[in-house]
Amino acid sequence: MNKLKQVILHACIWAAILLFFMYLASDGKIVHSTIVLFVYFGIINISIFYINYLFILPTFLNKKKYIWCGFAMFLLIVIGAFIKCGLAYYFYDIVIKRYGAKQIIDFWDYYSGAAFVSAVFITLGTVLKFISDWFLNEKVKSHLENEKLIAELAFLKSQINPHFLFNSLNNIYSLAYQKAEKTPEAILKLSEIMRYMLYESNVDKVTLSDEIRYLKNYIELQKLRFKDNIHVKFEIIGDPHGHKITPLILIPFVENAFKHGIATDVDNPISITLNISEESLFFNVFNKKSEMNKDITGGIGLANVKRRLELLYKDHFSLNIDDKNDIYSCELNLNL
């Protein structure tokens, strides 16, 4: 909220409070005495409120000068009470005589009451200051946490492209080393995949259809690597249209299956299942493990995607991984 809106809001609140009490005190008829008692004295009390709120507290309390802060508040109470007494005696018949009463209010009795009211408004200003500072600190804290979250997600996503590119280039290198005729086709397919990763996925969510097409392109690239001697079962159940998903959140599981699994076993094909319902997505990848495809560097793909799921989906996902001696299976449930 900008400063102009804050000023207007505060003015409207004080005006509403004054009008409400004036109406109650005068039984619906606002007369001169009511204006004196509520408007004139109300302006003094409101001034005390804002002198404390806008000057004393920021000047002394925020700088931890507590003694000076207390002294300034006490001085404001004393001065405010004297100003009220001066105004009261100016409107002697209305305030001191209490509407023409025979008994006149003693000066010190009136002064102590005026000082008490001033202290109440200083207390209100202090409470509001603490509350507003607390909300401001919470807002700043939330903003910093969001900035940290965005930075971490950007870092995680920046790792995906090099990680994927590194593995894909290894595959194409293998084709080139074997002087395979499909090497140019593999490079073209990689180019299409990288275009999606670099340009089309630079949003918070992409259509599930686009993400599925990306997975299919990746599988086609793997088929070129294995010269079509590959056995993959890719099953899609349900309609992907109308759904969106975080980009590049599924590929690490598929990539892991090809990197560490056996893709040439006709009896144990790599199985990829995508089951789509109205509000959720079930994603399962199963593969038989290969002893020859161990990654000595440990890899970053799965650790990366786990962290992205925790940051982006929080409590709206479940991931179960079954890592046995000869098989590897992962099941991912997402709320769409």
User: In the prediction, which pLDDT does 298 show?
Assistant: 44
Q: Give the separation between CA 252 and CA 233, rounded to whole angstroms.
A: 17
Residues 192 and 296 reside in one and the same domain: yes
Are residues 189 and 120 both part of a single domain? no
Please report whether residue 134 resides in a domain: yes
Please, which residues have CB within 8 angstroms of residue 234's CB and are 6 or more apart in sequence? Answer: 215, 216, 219, 272, 274
Inter-residue contact 295 to 301 (CB < 8 Å): no
Task: Mark whether 118 and 248 lie in a shared domain.
Answer: no
What pLDDT does 281 receive? 93
Q: What six digits make up the tokens of 74?
A: 């006490």
- 203 and 136 share one domain: no
Is 299 among the domain residues? yes
Q: Tokens in use for 263?
A: 């893709």
In the listed set 81, 110, 141, which residue is the last one of a domain according to the structure? 141
For the chain of 336 residues, list the mean pLDDT of each consecutive stretch of 10.
70 75 62 68 86 87 84 89 82 63 68 86 87 80 64 57 68 75 79 76 84 87 74 90 87 84 84 91 90 52 79 87 87 90
Give the DSSP H/E element, type plus range, for residue 77.
helix 66-90
> Does 159 map to a domain?
no
Question: Does residue 150 fall inside a structural domain?
Answer: no
Q: What is the pLDDT of residue 96?
A: 66
Say yes or no: 56 and 114 in one domain: yes
277 part of a folded domain? yes
Q: What is the CATH number of the domain that holds 319?
A: 3.30.565.10
Judge if 315 and 191 occupy the same domain.
yes
Question: Looking at the domain assignment, is residue 161 inside a domain?
Answer: no
Q: Which of 41, 33, 52 has its CA nearest to residue 14?
A: 41
Please, what is the Cα angle at 110 between 105 and 113, to 5 degrees? 140
Residues 207 and 331 grouped into a single domain:
yes
29: containing domain? 3-141
Q: In angstroms, rounded to a whole number, what is the distance separating the alpha carbons of residues 245 and 207?
A: 6
Residue 20 lies in a domain: yes
Question: Cα dihedral angle (225, 226, 231, 232), rounded to 10 degrees?
Answer: -10
Residue 79 sits in the same domain as residue 191: no
Q: Do residues 193 and 217 lie in contact, with contact meaning Cβ atoms separated by under 8 Å?
A: yes
Are 46 and 104 contained in the same domain? yes
Residues 110/38, Cβ–Cβ less than 8 Å = no
User: 230 and 119, same structural domain?
Assistant: no
Q: Which of 115, 141, 167 is the last residue of a domain?
A: 141
Q: DSSP 3-state assignment of 155?
A: helix
**326: DSSP letter:** S
- CB neighbours of 226 closer than 8 A, spacing ≥ 6? 263, 264
What local confidence, expressed as pLDDT, does residue 145 receive?
A: 65
Q: How many domains does the chain have?
A: 2
Rg (CA), the chain: 36
Report angle CA 169, 172, 177 to the nearest 5 degrees: 120
First-to-last alpha carbon distance for the chain, in angstroms, is: 33
For the entire predicted model, the pTM comes to 0.53
Q: What is the pLDDT of residue 282?
A: 94
Domain assignment present for residue 169? The answer is no
160-164 contact pairs (CB < 8 A, 24+): 160/197, 160/248, 160/251, 160/252, 160/301, 160/304, 161/194, 161/197, 161/198, 163/299, 163/300, 163/301, 163/304, 164/193, 164/197, 164/251, 164/255
CA–CA separation, 183 and 172 (whole Å)? 7
**In a shared domain, residues 35 and 123:** yes
Q: Do residues 109 and 194 share a domain? A: no
| Pairing status of strand 270-276 against strand 280-288 | antiparallel
Q: What DSSP line would sit under 15-33, residue for residue?
A: HHHHHHHHHHHTTT---HH
State how far the Cα of 66 lies from the Cα of 75, in Å rounded to an integer. Answer: 14
